[in-house]
Chain A
Amino acid sequence: MLSQEARIKIAKRVAEELSDGDIVNLGVGIPTLIPDYLGDKKVHLQSENGLLGMGPTPDEKDINMDLISASKHPISMEPGASLFDSSDSFVMIRGGHIDVAVMGALQVDQYGEIANWAIPGKNILGVGGAMDLVAGAKKIIIASMHQAKDGTPKLVEKLTFPTSGNGRANILVTEHAVFKFSDQGTELVEQLSDLSLEQLKEITGAPFTYQGALV
């Protein structure tokens, strides 16, 4: 499957997990595609640089470099939007006021622990708001390709990349499947491609159950 096609498929499936009225923070990458697939659902998008009620990319003539997303792209404001400073923005994030954070990941372990900020052996020079969201969001959805570019699985038994904190993901959506995490481990809840269970198991790095039985 073409990468963009797979990314859109993931974004569409994550959109189904969101409910009308949710306060949602979207990370960089695949999560930024989600607003296009919400249909009639109305969610309130929070941008950690200081906006609740983020709207779509404006027309060229309305672009203002002081109205940008956390990914530093020009944005607009929805009716009812509010502006605030970074400190208040992270009161929202760390204080448990964000219903859902959707983010990418380098790895997720079988219990939903997330690694999404640093690769061992590379310069570790950016964390942004990732750890604040992992620690503070009520629900975390990981939206990610099933495998990294080098083919290694994103879902692993134990993280080998540095953890983003003690907060856990609730759900992982890839182009092949939807997984749920609990203290018992990973459960496959839905298959999104025509891979057999055996094929899915081969490209997944952690044990998972399906309909109550270990695959």
Chain B
Amino acid sequence: MTDKLINKNDLSKLINDGDTLLVGGFGLSGTPFTLIDVLATLGKKNLTVVSNNLGEKDKGLGILLHKGCLKKAIGSYFTSNRDAVYEWSKGNLEIELVPQGTLAERIRCGGAGIAGFYTKTAAGTKLAEGKEEREFDGETHVFERAIKGDVSLIKAWKADTLGNLIYDHTGRNFNPVMATASKIVIAEVDEIVEVGELSPYEITTPHVYVDYLVLSDYKKIGGKYVVPGS
């Protein structure tokens, strides 16, 4: 099979208290449900999670909110997750709100060895408060730092045994960029195929970025992921 395939319960050895986790997904699409389910049982503390929207209420990353393991969430859209809003209002969760494109680019820089970048996005707004501003070509730009993680938890459709990944439609979203930006990268996949079965033209994440593979407990039925037997 493949050296990279691990049991989902090995996650406990790879994640430590205080880690920064980059977690893929947009809404619930491209979300590593199995890895999140396991993470919710580990009792880790003070985690910082970087993710576009923290899943939804009781779904995806939303389930971590009840467990008290999150210290901080960095993302672009938490409004639709009432639990995140509640925990934040109670002072139990720090939130750093980042424009979606700035979030993607900060993670891309983290993976590309670039310390930061200047962008027009958010210049002159509340989200630029306290950040360095600089004029380029007559327009104000904001300096944004790269984001790097300790562990990335990502979701792909298929892997080959080397760890090359392909994604299902818009389930791609933040996953490929998060695959580049952490010390340890764990990809949850629906299926692992032999090397050579994925076309080089379709491989989106080259295996160099992927440390471990975990097979998903979920199966897609009628277009939705469900746990078999549930």
Contacts and interface: CB of A to CB of B under 8 A. Distances in A.
Interface in B140-170: 140, 157, 167-170
Interface in B170-208: 170-177, 204
The winner among A65, A84, A134, A164 for most chain B CB atoms within 10 A is: A65
A132 B99 contact: yes
A175 interface: no
Interface residues of B, number: 56
Interface stretch (A8-16, A67-75, A141-149): A67-75
B101 A93 contact: yes
B123 A126 contact: no
B7 interface: no
A170 interface: no
Interface stretch (A43-51, A104-112, A189-197): A43-51
Contacts, number: 167
A166 B95 contact: no
B91 interface: no
B97 A162 contact: no
Contact of A65 (B120, B123, B174, B224): B224
Interface string A98-134: 0000000000000000000010000111111111101
Interface string B80-98: 1000110011000001011
B121 A131 contact: yes
A66 B168 contact: yes
- The A interface, classified by DSSP as helix, strand, loop or mixed, is loop
A83 B101 contact: no
Contact of B174 (A85, A123, A125): A85
A85 B140 contact: no
Given A124-B97, A126-B77, A165 B105 contact: no
A93 B99 CA distance: 12
A172 B124 CA distance: 22
A165 B120 contact: yes
B169 A86 contact: no
A86 B170 CA distance: 9
A85 B97 contact: no
Nearest to A166: B124
A163 interface: yes
Given A66-B220, A131-B127, 14 more contacts: A48-B101, A50-B172, A65-B223, A66-B169, A66-B171, A74-B223, A89-B101, A90-B105, A94-B120, A124-B97, A127-B127, A128-B99, A131-B102, A165-B123
The 5 closest A-B pairs by CB, nearest first: A90-B101, A126-B79, A66-B171, A132-B101, A72-B27
Interface of B: 26-30, 52, 76-80, 84-85, 88-89, 95, 97-105, 107-108, 119-127, 139-140, 157, 167-177, 204, 220, 222-225
